[in-house]
Structure 1
Amino acid sequence: MARVRLEHVTKRYDDQGEIVTAVDDMNLDIDHGEFICFVGPSGCGKSTTMETIAGLTIPTEGEVHIGDREVTNLPPKDRGIAMVFQNIALFPHMDVYDNISFGLRLRDYPQDEIDRRVERAADIVQLEGMLDRMPDEMSGGQRQRVAIARAIVREPDVFLMDEPLANLDAKLKVHMRTELQRLHKELDTTIIYVTHDQEEAMTLSDRIAVLNSGSLQQIDPPLTCYNEPDNLFVAGFIGSPSMNFISGTVGESAIETPNFSLAFDPATVEGLGVGDEVTIGIRPEDIYPGEFRNEIRDPSSLISARVDILEPMGDEIFAYMLLAEGETSMDQKQTTNNQLLMSIEPDSEIQEEEDIEVAIDRRNVHIFDSATGDALVHKLEPVGSDTGVTGREAESDD
């Protein structure tokens, strides 16, 4: 069984006298047959973690287990793994058959076994009839399938894939994502996949491991990371476009922000009290134009805003809104506290520079501790009627 475990794995480098921690006390337990994606910003440690599993990097501390063996100090060839890299790196002077079978021929496999494995791999990745082609006669997607077939013939316990789709165009990426899902079902083996593209992670994986600054932030199924992020980093990284964040202070019956109040009972969250600083997290799809407020099961008060920029995306429009007057010029400072991003229907008649009212679906509001960044709650409890208008319109009525 190709279970993969990392136990307190740490990797430090000496960078011209400065000690840099690339991976910090990493603990992971990946079951046989799982598809796990490592995601995070550049430099977060995801590739170093992958290289540690592969044996390309030896950890400073900790242990690596694959199956029932500790492999921390074993070379890559003895770990039962196969890798697919961002750089496809096919031999340009060899045809597809020779590229796929190269590793087997180096290990002196019998010719009939090589033929069997190459034919099976070519069938899995749909390269039938192409085994005599040269790499320069193939598309990018076909060459990537050759690289995957070259890994399949090894019949490894674990596949390690380091951003294998990064160099493909958008349409081909979508196609290859489907191919990888089909491949995973066909092979029923463990796949560990590194990507900075959260869309790939959300669509491909059984679980996502979110990394930042060498530390594991959260490892959960994609929708859990999306709907119940453990902290501000995961909440901001998972989801495109990103979650809105607004700083606020807990009051007796509401969270007060510089531009609106959000009804909230602090007694519903253990350890939270009046005067505490929190951060409100709101997904763009959980903000609605005011005319739809009555269709929201637990709406906030109406919030006045001015539409700044509209971005039509085909199936939706992203509306960037400003909550405070006088912030529309490019030379004036804008902060997260006076901006909101809302996702609206493509047939919406909302226009740029228009003053509108919006409402928030309180059922999907997230509250984070501003000091630690930890999540406190992912759904606000109903508090009864929460009507009225806050923001620019309320100020104009005074």
Structure 2
Amino acid sequence: MARVKLDGVTKQYGDEIAVEDMNLDIRDGEFVCLVGPSGCGKSTTLETIAGLEKPTEGTVHIGDRDVTRLPPKDRGIAMVFQNIALFPHMNVYKNISFGLRLRNFEQDEIDRRVEQAADIVQLEGLLERQPSELSGGQQQRVAIARAIVRDPEVFLMDEPLANLDAKLRVHMRTELQRLHNELDTTIIYVTHDQAEAMTMSDRIAVINDGHLQQIDPPLTCYNEPANLFVAGFIGSPSMNFVEGEMTQTGIQTEHFDVAVDDAAADLDVGDEVTMGVRPEDIYQVENAPGVSTTDVIEATVDVTEPMGDEIFVYLTLSEQTGELRTSDAVATASDQLLMSVDPDVDLDIGESVSVVMDRTKVHLFDTASGNAIVHDVTAPAESTSDPTGSTAD
């Protein structure tokens, strides 16, 4: 196990900056997911930690060592890639032990490590099989076992579940959590799938355009996003966003107003803000919880999407209906809201509904900078979490 620290790491390819001034402090034994859209720099960050890429600026430490200029083999790391890359002509035993045999380990030690790794990832009885005789999940476990036998200080995983089907991905997420608990080692995991990040990690590092946006526990990123990007990226479906202007009493938007207590005392009348609210925090008036809610907002049901355990209801605030939009489009449209309701709620297309928002779950962001202002418009304003990792020791 080892602590991993990136200090001011920048990686530049010609005129293009893939990662800029990345500061990460990952604790010994921690499971951290690097998450973000394609091309955001998360894989480049992982490859810099691994030594597959050399940083243009900055340093990388693993444990007490500065490994910035060390080759991958000397960093005490093991990688698991999206491409499983098993040798098709070797059986499971030979695939797992390949790296040990290259390093001329004694046969007894190789056998011990392979047996231990196979037991950890539940490959007992499969060591003589060829990769073609294994399922996708079993092949992925072979790749993980091949990393385990190296007894690394840090596991680096680059979207290892991306090629598996949805059901198998859910199963393998559980397996990786069990593996982390059993090995108690540091794992840095790259994914664009926020479900993987939310369910597996101790902390999530959200990256966009090569910049670290926030690093915090999953629920902190969900409930207290540092900025508009994190608020929109974390959570499925996305958070609703409505632009407005501060008045003497609260926020004035195109279609409705929201009263704001002294939470926004530092804002001036006329300041432009973006209000965010998640679909589960919008309620029909008759189902509103016993909390501080907004005034009633009149809307029309545009589209419904039954999901089994809930129904997504697309609401139109204007008189324009019938235009099908994706959840992301709804999240940013000024005349649209997305609400989630219980599966037994019966709503018809074109039906008028009265809804309210839970003001304790209304987020305010500065429209110009995108930074969060407050995550509850009924309470005194508090400083939001440091996007570079306020929860670190």
TM range (shorter): over 0.9
1:337 matched to 2:331? The reply is: no
SS at match of 2:70: coil
C-alpha offsets along residues 25-78 of structure 1, whole Å, 9 cap, x if unaligned?
000101110000000001100000000000000000000000110000110000
Which residue does 1:84 correspond to in 2? 80
For 2:194 and 2:237, how far apart are their aligned partners in 1? 11
Which residue does 1:396 correspond to in 2? none
For 2:272 and 2:348, how far apart are their aligned partners in 1? 34
1:278 matched to 2:284? The reply is: no
Question: 1:137 is aligned with what amino acid?
Answer: E
Q: Does the 8 A contact of 1:259 with 1:338 survive in 2?
A: yes
Q: Does the 8 A contact of 2:302 with 2:321 survive in 1?
A: no
Q: Does the 8 A contact of 2:263 with 2:376 survive in 1?
A: no
1:329/1:182 CA distance change after superposition, 3 Å: closer
**How far 1:355 moved relative to its partner?**
1.1
Which residue does 1:314 correspond to in 2? 308
Which residue does 1:378 correspond to in 2? 375
Which residue does 2:264 correspond to in 1? 269
Question: 1:308 is aligned with what amino acid?
Answer: D
Structure 1 unmatched ranges of 5 or more: 384-398
For 1:92 and 1:382, how far apart are their aligned partners in 2? 61
Which residue does 1:193 correspond to in 2? 189
1:353 matched to 2:360? The reply is: no
**How far 1:236 moved relative to its partner?**
0.3
Q: With the length of structure 1 as denominator, give the TM-score of the two structures.
A: 0.92
SS at match of 1:337: coil
Which residue does 1:45 correspond to in 2? 41
SS at match of 2:334: helix
C-alpha offsets along residues 317-342 of structure 1, whole Å, 9 cap, x if unaligned?
000111111243469x9861111000
Q: Which of 280, 284, 287 is the equivalent residue of 1:292?
A: 287
For 2:263 and 2:337, how far apart are their aligned partners in 1? 26
For 1:111 and 1:330, how far apart are their aligned partners in 2? 63
Q: Which of 337, 361, 370 is the equivalent residue of 1:364?
A: 361
Q: Does the 8 A contact of 1:236 with 1:242 survive in 2?
A: yes
For 2:294 and 2:264, how far apart are their aligned partners in 1? 19
C-alpha offsets along residues 220-276 of structure 1, whole Å, 9 cap, x if unaligned?
0000000000000000000000000000111101210000010113x4335311110
Q: Does the 8 A contact of 2:263 with 2:379 survive in 1?
A: no
Moved over 2 A (4+): 267-271, 326-331
Q: Which of 204, 207, 216 is the equivalent residue of 1:208?
A: 204
Pairing of 1:1-398 with structure 2 (within 5 A): 1-14=1-14, 19-265=15-261, 267-293=262-288, 295-329=289-323, 336-381=333-378
Identity %: 68
For 1:106 and 1:140, how far apart are their aligned partners in 2? 26
C-alpha offsets along residues 72-114 of structure 1, whole Å, 9 cap, x if unaligned?
0110000000000000010000000000000000000000000
Larger radius of gyration: 1
Q: Does the 8 A contact of 1:253 with 1:263 survive in 2?
A: yes
Question: 1:47 is aligned with what amino acid?
Answer: S
Q: Does the 8 A contact of 1:165 with 1:173 survive in 2?
A: yes
SS at match of 2:273: strand
Q: Does the 8 A contact of 2:264 with 2:377 survive in 1?
A: no
Question: 2:175 is aligned with what amino acid?
Answer: E
For 1:330 and 1:88, how far apart are their aligned partners in 2? 39
1:66/1:382 CA distance change after superposition, 3 Å: closer
**How far 1:382 moved relative to its partner?**
6.6
SS at match of 2:49: helix
SS at match of 1:48: helix
For 1:101 and 1:286, how far apart are their aligned partners in 2? 52
Question: 1:277 is aligned with what amino acid?
Answer: E
C-alpha offsets along residues 279-311 of structure 1, whole Å, 9 cap, x if unaligned?
000000000112123x33111111111111111
Q: Does the 8 A contact of 2:263 with 2:374 survive in 1?
A: no
Q: Does the 8 A contact of 1:322 with 1:328 survive in 2?
A: no
Which residue does 1:391 correspond to in 2? none
For 1:382 and 1:198, how far apart are their aligned partners in 2? 29
Segment of structure 1 superposing worse, 255-264 or 374-383: 374-383
**How far 1:351 moved relative to its partner?**
1.4
SS at match of 2:275: strand
Q: Does the 8 A contact of 1:299 with 1:360 survive in 2?
A: yes
Q: Does the 8 A contact of 1:296 with 1:361 survive in 2?
A: no
SS at match of 1:168: coil
Aligned residues: 376
SS at match of 2:302: strand
Question: 1:279 is aligned with what amino acid?
Answer: T
Q: Does the 8 A contact of 1:229 with 1:375 survive in 2?
A: yes
Q: Does the 8 A contact of 1:298 with 1:382 survive in 2?
A: no
